[in-house]
Amino acid sequence: MKKSLIYILSIIFFIVLCSQVKAEVAGNCANCHTMHNSQDGLDMATYGGTSGENPCLTRGDCIGCHAYDISGTVNVVDIGGSLVPQVWHSAATDPAINLAAGNFKYIATAADDDTGHSVADVDEEGNASMFPPPGDQHTTGITATNFTCAGKYGCHGDRSVSGGIESIKGAHHTNDNTIDGNSVGTSYRFLKGVLGLENPDTAWRNVDETDHNEYKGATSPGTSSLTSPVNGTMSGFCAECHGYYHGSGTDETGGTGSPWIRHPTDFSLPSSGEYTNYTTYSIVAPVARVTLPETPSGVVTPTGATDDIVMCLSCHGAHATNFYKLMRWEYDSTSLETALEGCNVCHTSKN
């Protein structure tokens, strides 16, 4: 009897342990934190070439850890067993090896400013002409100099909290087996309030039609607030800063159907005409889902229903891409066929 109890408790402990390992950041505390920013007389908070103490005793700021080695060629850095996805790296085989959101290296030089979100942490020369954010419905106050990764003037973390690290405090240690959007840690990619399925096969990347993230969508856009994405959708999140490109007011998308006056998002592909040919998930022009699948799906059913939702990320990368206007394909190519590559995924008769 006692042996049986021990056996059962062991199984339960194993399951709980496994789930925690999967959900939270792994590795020794010292991989990410330093108590005194000093060891043997040397600074410890130096990740990514940063220096000085950071909130939460971290050894780097957002870029310090997630752009750990911008000249490196890996998209995920292993720091003592802690796997850190790299938003800025120099892998030679890009863009295939980039994370799903892209690679900030494309905006690190002046010539490439229009290919990504110009966060001040990366965009070394600034790009004031793109601020405030286009379609800034909610008056974000974001400028070329305060635009950052997380917090009030960023995307990740709690956007009602000032300070990048402060806004994301604790999220890396949250059990996120269930993405419910109720906290930063349980939101998709720490985008507070956003739902989604983080790719369980090849973490942080979209690889092919069955190996990719799944994004939350809705069948009508609604209106987001400054800090809360309507319907928990990815597009709703973009609308916190670019609201006029997403809502349903007459000054926004102009309603809920054709004729649209701006390209619709959070809207189901029509069940007729050229759209019916989009049946296999495309990582060039991906769709979102009203109901997130338990595993990434390669199927799209353009029935005007739930698994075929047009979203901002259908066309754009989130961080930066090597294409004009953060597009997922070479939209400004001198080859018309190449320029329309992504358009033709949905607009299948316009090839």
Rg (CA), the chain: 21
Q: Quick check: 263 binds another protein (CB under 8 A)?
A: yes
Q: Quick check: 139 binds another protein (CB under 8 A)?
A: no
What is the residue-wise DSSP string for 59-126?
SS-HHHHHTTTTT---SEEEETTEEEE-SS---TTTTTTSBTTB-GGGGSSGGGGGGB---TTT-TT-
Report the C-alpha dihedral over residues 345, 346, 350, 351, rounded to 10 degrees: 10
Segment interacting with another protein (CB under 8 A) among 26-34, 54-62, 178-186, 251-259: 251-259
Residue 307 CB partners (closer than 8 Å, separation 6+) = 287, 289, 290, 291, 297, 299, 300, 301
- In the bound state with another protein, the residue whose beta carbon lies nearer, of 139 and 335, is 335
φ/ψ of 143, rounded to 5, equals -125, 175
Question: 166 forms bridges with which residues in the sheet?
Answer: none
The DSSP element (H or E) to which 213 belongs, if any, is none
**Which position among 27, 254, 270, 304 is part of the footprint of another protein (CB under 8 A)?**
254
φ/ψ of 338, rounded to 5, equals -70, -40
The DSSP element (H or E) to which 312 belongs, if any, is none
Q: Quick check: 128 binds another protein (CB under 8 A)?
A: no
- In the bound state with another protein, the residue whose beta carbon lies nearer, of 131 and 281, is 131
Cα–Cα distance measured from residue 102 to residue 235, given in angstroms and rounded to the nearest whole number = 17
Pattern 305-324, another protein, x by CB under 8 A: ----------x--------x
Q: Quick check: 135 binds another protein (CB under 8 A)?
A: yes
Cβ–Cβ < 8 Å for 229, 194: yes
What is the CA angle 303-318-226, rounded to 5?
90
Segment interacting with another protein (CB under 8 A) among 99-107, 159-167, 298-306, 330-338: 330-338
- In the bound state with another protein, the residue whose beta carbon lies nearer, of 66 and 242, is 242
Q: Quick check: 340 binds another protein (CB under 8 A)?
A: yes
**Which position among 274, 283, 305, 306 is part of the footprint of another protein (CB under 8 A)?**
274
Q: Quick check: 166 binds another protein (CB under 8 A)?
A: no
Supply the minimum distance, in Å, between the C-beta of residue 230 and another protein.
18
Q: Quick check: 81 binds another protein (CB under 8 A)?
A: no
Q: Quick check: 304 binds another protein (CB under 8 A)?
A: no
Cα–Cα distance measured from residue 253 to residue 141, given in angstroms and rounded to the nearest whole number = 23
**CA end-to-end distance (rounded Å), the chain:** 70
Segment interacting with another protein (CB under 8 A) among 102-110, 259-267, 282-290, 302-310: 259-267
- In the bound state with another protein, the residue whose beta carbon lies nearer, of 73 and 272, is 272
Q: Quick check: 351 binds another protein (CB under 8 A)?
A: yes
- In the bound state with another protein, the residue whose beta carbon lies nearer, of 177 and 279, is 279
Supply the minimum distance, in Å, between the C-beta of residue 134 and another protein.
4
Q: Which residues bind another protein (CB under 8 A)?
A: 114, 129-130, 134-135, 245, 251, 254, 258-263, 273-274, 315, 324-325, 331-337, 339-340, 343-344, 349-351
